[in-house]
Structure 1
């Protein structure tokens, strides 16, 4: 079964972001940056996993809690991208950086307005 777009911006964007993170982490692993690739892979894919889980929340509190976890994971992902950029070990694609920031803004907005 392939992913089918839901029409829900945060669900779709977080899924495609996770896919981009997987591809970028593989590039990092090819350059032998295994530890940072694994850290980035865990946090970057966790955003989408928690967003998807939030859609099955049993209450507003549960929904907001899952999105709060997704927000923390997105912030951690931004941290790892900062580390990669600052150390100049590998180029961070601008689209990846921008997509991460968009997810953070969306998550903050959804949490505040729920």
Structure 2
């Protein structure tokens, strides 16, 4: 599961990058593109960091960053869905993956907190 999530979070960043590469170039689009690339790549980077956490508290903290960045990525994808409706098939797919990663992360945080209390 750990390697699967590492791969999925990395693929999410790559898929978002690939989408952003095809977004028209303009000052307005570029601002949103930069935000999506930053947040989507942070999902994988912070998930990877969580796997090297020094303690349960550190693990939970890093996963909370993953949670925030995944949620932010979904937000930017929602924006792109509205401003580039012709790309909705791709943004819907990316949003679904972002929401799945978010749900997995939230569940992992809950499990880690529960296990830490034992």
- What TM-score do you get using the length of structure 1 for normalisation? 0.86
Q: Distance in 1 between matches of 2:62 and 2:87?
A: 31
**Matched-pair contact (CA < 8 Å) for 1:10–1:106:** no
2:62 aligned partner: 66
Q: Does 1:45 align with 2:44?
A: no
**Match runs of 1:2-81 below 5 Å:** 8-28=3-23, 31-32=24-25, 33-81=29-77
Structure 1, 89-98 or 99-108: larger mean CA deviation: 89-98
Kindly indicate which of the two structures has a greater share of residues assigned to helix. Answer: 2
Q: Which has the larger radius of gyration?
A: 2
Point out where structure 1 has 5 or more consecutive residues left out of the alignment. Answer: 1-5
In the alignment, the residues of structure 2 paired with residue 25 and residue 90 of structure 1 have an alpha-carbon distance, to the nearest angstrom, of 14
1:3 aligned partner: none
Q: Alpha carbon RMSD of aligned pairs, Å? A: 1.6
